[in-house]
Amino acid sequence: MKVTINAAMTIDGKIATASGDSAISSKEDWKRVHKMRAASDAVMVGISTVLVDDPRLTVRHVRGRNPARIIVDSKGRIPSRSRILRSAHEQKTVIAVSEQAKEADIIRIKKAGALVVVAGRDTVDLKALFLFLKKAGFKNVLVEGGGELNWSVLDLGLADELVVSVAPRIAGGRLATTLVEGDGYDRISQGPKLALMRVEKTKAGELVLRYRVGKHT
C-alpha cells in the first residue's frame, strides 16, 4: 500500500494561522489536490481538521470518483451534523477510534452509515489502522492531515511520499500550525531523509515539491 502525505504551506512552513485559517492553495493547486484524491482509494484526515474545517473530502474541481474517507478520531468526537457523517451513506467512510471512544458514540457513528474501526487503547494505533486498510484492499491512501497527523505518519515510518505545495505567502505566528508538529526530534539527523523527485510551478507562483520519504533512525 502506498501512503502519500499532501499539504499546502506558506514559505515559513505554516499550514494554518493561529486562528485556524488554512486558505493557502490557489484554484490551480486545488485542482492538483483533487486529481490526487481521484487517483486515491482513500483520503485520511484527523478529527481536528473535521472540527475546524468541516470538509467533504470529495472530488469536485476535476472529474473523477470520490475516494473513501478515513477519519482518525480517538474519542469518537465527530459531530453527527458534520458533512462527512451526513453523507456517510453515500460515500464510504471509516472512523478510526481508540478504546477511549464511548459505546454511545460508536453506535451513533454506525447509525450514520460509517464503519467504525477500533485500534489502540488511548489513541488510534496508526500502524494497526494502516494494516487494516491494507488488508481491506486499499492500495493508495492520501493523507491530508494537520501537523499532528503528519508527524505521526512520518515518525512511524508509514509514509512513502510527501507532496508539499509552497505558497508565496508568509503567515508567521508562534502559535500557527506548522507542516509537522508532534514531539519532534532532538537531532536533525534522527528524522526521515527525503529525496526530491520533482518540482512543479503553478501560475499562482506556488512550488509543488514531491519527495520520496526515506527511513529514519
Distances (CA, A) of 196 to 73, 161, 164: 32, 10, 11
pTM for the predicted model, two decimal places: 0.95
Which of 143, 94, 96, 144 has the alpha carbon at shortest distance from 114? 94
| Burial class of residue 77, CB neighbours in 10 A (0-12, 13-18, 19+) | middle
pLDDT for residue 216:
65
pLDDT for residue 217:
56
Instruction: Give the mean model confidence (pLDDT) for residues 112-121.
Output: 98
Distances (CA, A) of 18 to 10, 29, 148, 176: 13, 23, 15, 4
Provide the residue range defining the domain that includes 203: 2-213
What is the C-alpha separation between 115 and 196, in angstroms, rounded? 36
Confidence band for 160, pLDDT divided at 50, 70 and 90 = very high
Over 90: is that where the pLDDT of 212 sits? yes
Confidence band for 215, pLDDT divided at 50, 70 and 90 = confident
pLDDT for residue 61:
86
Instruction: Give the mean model confidence (pLDDT) for residues 123-137.
Output: 97
Confidence band for 182, pLDDT divided at 50, 70 and 90 = very high
Confidence band for 214, pLDDT divided at 50, 70 and 90 = confident
C-alpha cell at 132: 487494516
- With beta carbons less than 8 A apart as the criterion, state whether 185 and 165 touch: no
Instruction: Give the mean model confidence (pLDDT) for residues 145-171.
Output: 97
pLDDT for residue 41:
98
Cα-atom radius of gyration of the chain, to the nearest Å? 17
Domain with 142 in it: what CATH number?
Answer: 3.40.430.10
Counting residues of the chain whose pLDDT is more than 70, the rounded percentage is: 99
Which of 132, 162, 157 has the alpha carbon at shortest distance from 145? 162
C-alpha cell at 128: 494497526
What is the C-alpha separation between 71 and 22, in angstroms, rounded? 19
Average pLDDT of every residue of the chain: 96
Instruction: Give the mean model confidence (pLDDT) for residues 153-177.
Output: 97
- Give pLDDT tens digits for 68-107: 999 999 999 999 999 999 999 999 999 999 999 999 999 9
Q: How many domains does the chain have?
A: 1
Counting residues of the chain whose pLDDT is more than 90, the rounded percentage is: 97
Instruction: Give the mean model confidence (pLDDT) for residues 113-128.
Output: 98
Instruction: Give the mean model confidence (pLDDT) for residues 140-162.
Output: 97
